[in-house]
Amino acid sequence: MKTHMNAAGVALSALGAFLVWNFVAELNFANKESYLKGQGSIEILDPSTEDIRKLRFKIGISRLGLALILVGGLLQVVGTYMD
């Protein structure tokens, strides 16, 4: 049981970290091609209703990822101290 709890904790933490990374990696207003050539500029356009909906969804997924990291870490701690 102890091994299963630790494994589940690691899996949940890894999944949570991926969800948070995916949100952070996509939240970027720079034109990546020109930015990598040293000619970058940032454009912030007026958001559409669809843009707002997508951002709210990504924020929700990121929060879910943080919760999974927390639960996964707690499972690992509890699994470590189980008899």
pLDDT, tens only, 47-82 = 899 989 988 998 999 999 999 999 999 999 999 888
Residue 42 has φ and ψ, to the nearest 5°, of: -110, 130
The answer to whether residues 40 and 34 touch, using CB atoms and an 8 Å cutoff, is yes
Question: E-strand spans in the chain?
Answer: none
Higher local confidence (pLDDT), 7 or 2: 7
Residues in the chain: 83
- Side-chain-side CA neighbours of residue 82 (13 Å): 12
Predicted TM-score (pTM) of the model is 0.74
